[in-house]
Structure 1
Amino acid sequence: MNLRQTSAEDRAVIEGLIASAPWSHVHLDWIDPTKLTDKDPFILATDGQIPAGTLGCPPDLPGVAWVRTFAAAEGFDLREIWRVLWAEAVSRLRRLDVDIVAAIALEDWFEKLIRNAGFKRTNSVIFYELEFEPGMVANRSSRDSSHPLRSIRSADLEAILEVDGHSFEPIWRLSGDSLSVAMLQASSASLIEDQGKVLGYQITTSSAFGAHLARLAVRPSHRREGLGTALVNDAIKSIREIGLDQLSVNTQEKNAPSRRLYENMGFRTTGKEFPVFEIQL
């Protein structure tokens, strides 16, 4: 078995492997992992000229990496492919000073692999959904009217990154690249500011199936002021204007303030939940 770091030229090979492999994992977010093939570590295993498996887990921010994708091709031993790829990835991640690797287990077979590798369950991702009824009026916010709400502009990226960094634990924070991709995909993106200081923001994407609240963050110093409610209401208003009747969102099981906000606004759990695992290197 030969192992090598991929490059941008390998994107088509990785796409084909992920699409055809009987065992294929792709991380749950808006980043296409095949666009990360020029990032380290993104490893391809081959048997001669035949792609046998791939593992991509490049860090998005210093010190933390997510398993972005893993696939094992037909005719190869799943556990052996994982073993050799994971060993190589760990070696590369340590050289990059990555301390924590996280993964969301979307299927049982992947959960078994990462548990056997030493990953421990630390959280879970819970899914919520809000269906708009005819004549439904959005919940009113108690926020101070002196805090203006406006659409996000590309020049706001650094300020939004600062809010994001204060709002989430390290494994849940986003890089500028990830936020830029989310902003490009957004159907609705707005922020609340006070005298030029961004207090919170939301980014919502949409498709033919409905809309998804991809990111919501409010500075800890300004929580419980109704800003989160105001931002979600702005997303609801925007997506209703384009004819959509449903908004989904996911959040962490241990994020009690986030869950309380959505439940108070009428979101209901869908019953879908995926465990989150971490390992210290």
Structure 2
Amino acid sequence: MQLANSMEGDSALRGRVRRATSGDAAAIQRLLKMGVYIHIHVDWRLPGEWLNRPGFMVFEKEVGRKNQDRNSSPVVACLAIAADPPPAAWVRVAAVESHTGYDQMNAMFGEILGELDPAINEIAWFLADYFPLHWLERMGFEQVSEVIGFRKEGLDVPGYVTPAGLVVRPLLMEDIPALAAIETAAFEPRWRHSAVDLGLAWRNSISFTVALVDDKPVAFQFSTGGGGTAHLSRMTVQPEWQGMGIGAALLAKAMESYRLQNIQTVTLNTQTDNIASRRLYERFGFRPTGYSYPIWSYFVSRPT
């Protein structure tokens, strides 16, 4: 009897989950401002870009919209998961109206898993905002990595040697496919940027430079920011060219571009286990901020 009641309860919860549509935009915006637990990780996009697509669900107070107070929203929770590129996806938006909203979150997650792109094998959650970890554990997530913040005051650059034949210049749009290929070669799936994301990054950057050898892109960096502060958002070097001083040359050139923009403070994030990157940043005078952000992942299992 208890199992039957549980199954009926699960069915009732799933009946209140549906795909988010453009008509939910105002309700979702309200939820992302007023919710008890809120998570937003959209990079250079807006949450509304995922509306009407698989992977963006809302949870309603009641099935349908009848008998609702005109001044209240029927949407009490939302969850958006998107991959760009597969095979790893990220939790992009998550919010609940109440601290008792675990069942709502889990029901939406179950519906998303049910229609998940078969190419996706991992769903990652970047915990920059507070969200109950015991909820993630119950949903099947586990911590897989940690990101730490670094900060540098001033733009002094240590001595470095530019590799022979290396040229560093601003991004050309025709570089983007090659840069996406470098991302694929250099990073495990959860950290990769697609060509589309790189284009969006360029539009939001204050510095985007590419390192070339024999006119072939081998590395790049892009930085965001403003108001006297830059954030080194990305630096990627083709694996076979790592350890040759290209990262140092890229970083030094980025510092030059910051100086031209009257920037004096630089921040960045990197994974705790990326020892080579941490050594480079520390050599350039970056120091840990004390802030860290855990990465939790759900690994999709499918019948073989």
After TM superposition, the score normalised by the length of structure 1 is 0.91
What's the counterpart of residue 266 of structure 1? Answer: 285
Trace 1:221-240 onto structure 2 (pairs within 5 A). 221-240=240-259
Give the aligned partner of residue 249 of structure 1: 268
**Residues 159-192 of structure 1: CA distance to partner in whole angstroms, max 9, x if unpaired?**
1111111111111111122111111001000011
Instruction: Decide which of 107, 118, 122 is 2:144's aligned counterpart.
Output: 122
* Mapping 1:197-236, distance limit 5 Å: 197-208=216-227, 210-236=229-255
CA pair 31-128 structure 1, distance change in 2 beyond 3 A: farther
Task: Figure out how many residues of one structure are paired with residues of the other and give that number.
Answer: 276
Alignment correspondent of 2:102: 79
Instruction: Say whether the 8 Å CA contact 1:8–1:35 is kept in structure 2.
Output: no
Separation in structure 1 between the aligned mates of residue 228 and residue 95 of structure 2, nearest angstrom = 27
Describe how 1:146-185 pairs up with structure 2 within 5 A.
146-185=165-204
1:80 partner letter:
D
CA distance in structure 2 between the partners assigned to 1:172 and 1:267 by the alignment: 22
Alpha-carbon distance change, 144 to 65 in structure 1, aligned in 2, over 3 angstroms: same
Kindly state the Cα deviation for residue 15 of structure 1 after the two structures are TM-superposed. 2.1
Tell me what 1:5 maps to: 19
Give the superposition deviation at 1:273: 0.3
Which stretch shows the higher mean deviation, 207-216 or 184-193? 207-216
The residue type paired with residue 155 of structure 1 is E
Contact 1:142 1:225 in 2 (8 A): no
Q: 1:196 to 1:10 in 2, by over 3 A?
A: farther
Q: 1:15 pairs with 23, 29, 39, which one?
A: 29
**1:70 corresponds to:** 94
Tell me the equivalent position of 1:60.
84
CA contact (8 A) 1:192 1:199 kept: yes
> How big is the alpha-carbon RMSD for the aligned residues of Structure 1 and Structure 2?
1.9
Match of 2:75 among 17, 40, 51: 51
The 1:73–1:29 alpha-carbon spacing in structure 2 relative to 1, beyond 3 Å, is same
The structure with the larger Rg is: 2
Shift of 1:218: 0.5
Pick the aligned partner of 2:54 from 40, 58, 69.
40
CA distance in 2, matches of 1:141, 1:11: 50
Please list every run of at least 4 consecutive aligned residues from structure 1 whose deviation after the TM superposition is greater than 4 angstroms: none
Opposite residue 91 of structure 1, the aligned amino acid is: G
SS where residue 43 of structure 1 aligns? strand
Give 5+ residue unaligned stretches, structure 2. Answer: 1-12, 66-73
Distance 1:258 1:33, change over 3 A: farther
Flag the 1:158–1:97 CA change in 2: closer, same or farther, 3 A.
closer
